[in-house]
Amino acid sequence: MNNWQPGTTLNNRRYSIEKTLGEGGFGITYLAWDNHTIGTKVVIKTLNNRVQKLPDFDKFQKRFRYEAEQLKKFQHQNIVKFYHSFQEGNLYCIVMEFIEGDNLAVVVNKQGILPVQRALYYIQQIANALIVIHNKKILHRDIKPENIILRKNTQEVVLIDFGIARDFIPNQTNSFTQFFTDGYAPIEQYRRKHRPGEYTDIYALAATLYVLLTNYKLPNSIDRYHTQLAVHKTPLPKQFRFALKLIFKLIKKTGKQDLLVEPKKINTKISDRLNNAIIKAMEIQPEDRPQTVQEWLTLLQVKPQSLMSQISQVSRTIMSQMATLNIPGIKPLYQNSVKTFYQGETNILLIGTGILIFIVVIYIYSPKLNFSITSRPLSPQPITIPQQKPYPTIQPSKVPQPLPRTNIPDISQTTINYIEKKVDYTTLENLLSSDKFQEADQETLRIILSLVEREKED
């Protein structure tokens, strides 16, 4: 069946199609007039042509009807209003309110990064909507700027598109259809069977806040997960444990073990507390995130009254504060891709892995190498890892079981030992800390070759 054209009438001529609003992977939405209520616009959503041609169309139709059932449960100013549903031929249709305005992805692309208080005001509204949704034991599972609409001439935002929302039972493993949006979906959504929880929507909400404040694309969580595994699972002979410790400490110190760049490094107006709250909610493992929306709001220290009092001032000064920050070497979302933006952040991982592989090669082809490890620390001082400030937490009813993860030795208290033939790693450390990756490569090669040369001389 072809898309409905302007002028097409539906539901016994009650609705007249005006135009197509948008089409996604499964659904298509139309702007229509309600002829029973003169001058009232509505949104009609149904399954698109591609899905209608699938052999398992009935499964998608059932899923679509489920979306309508979910919307019926909610009466909240920040959740799109459901009016009713009807059958048109073999298609099930949902009628919803028409929200005039742009979604937040369009807002950010037009205006640039949002002022912190304005972004927090939007996020708080969606957080309040999520509390209502989660109280019904439902997950939205597709929170992103495109699914949040800013009502025209207001500062009110509305959450839309419950197409992949699902019921959930906390701490119980369930099977879920694998629909998600890269960058906003946490790692558990990439698994067909996982333990659902509020932390799934919390990750996506924090990712949305990240984009509102930076206007940058996000790395997807599965790539972040695999990158961390690559760092920690690199094999290394016992004779070279000192190099492993050095690399891990340098990686932790420079914060490059994760593809996710701290938002405050992009937007200097982001406070440490806000930065930490975003990063905490975007932890890879579900049990490391806040377990409820309210717990995350506590980390943000969101104060509704203060936000309300500031919003009028924000509105008056909005245009002067919207420009994207000019950070040397970094381009905004519309000028960049995930690959190019995170290339620099990945270099440190490649360097670290390269160092280890190079050492292993030397180990294999230079059997005469016999480094001994002493208990004396490098001079002047061993490298230490700053302790992160503890986060206030609210005791969850039950923390979900963690996903399988690799056992990683705790080296946080380890003193870096050195070989009897003293090697100065200060230059390498400084280069890595300064993000001078090419020079770090050359320094690494120089150190390793010098070690081999010394052994030959002996």
pLDDT at 331: 42
> Which SS3 state, helix, strand or coil, does residue 151 take?
strand
Identity of the amino acid at 260: L
> Which domains are present in the chain?
9-97 (3.30.200.20), 101-218+260-335 (1.10.510.10), 231-257+337-397+409-458 (no CATH)
Contacts of 153 (CB under 8 A, 6+ apart): none
Are the C-beta atoms of 369 and 252 separated by less than 8 Å? no
Residue 350: per-residue pLDDT: 53
At residue 389, the pLDDT reads 46
Within 257-342, residue ranges assigned H as helices are 272-281, 293-300, 304-316, 318-321, 338-341
pTM score of the predicted model: 0.62
The per-residue pLDDT for 210 is 96
Nearest to 1 by CA among 90, 133, 84, 81: 90
Q: Which residues partner with 316 through β-bridges?
A: none
The rounded Cα 213 to chain-centroid distance in angstroms is 13
Measured distance between the N- and C-terminal CA atoms of the chain, rounded to whole angstroms: 82
Q: Name residues of the chain where pLDDT drops below 70.
A: 1, 163-180, 192-194, 228-258, 302-423, 433-435, 437-438, 441, 449, 451-458
pLDDT at 107: 97
CA distance 352 to 431: 13
Average predicted confidence (pLDDT) for the chain? 72
Q: What is the pLDDT of residue 425?
A: 73
How far apart CA 15 and CA 229 sit, in angstroms, is 54
Instruction: Work out the angle between the directed axes of helices 104-111 and 198-214 (0-180°, nearest 10).
Output: 20
CB atoms < 10 A from the CB of 76, how many?
16
- Residue 380 φ/ψ, nearest 5 degrees: -85, -35
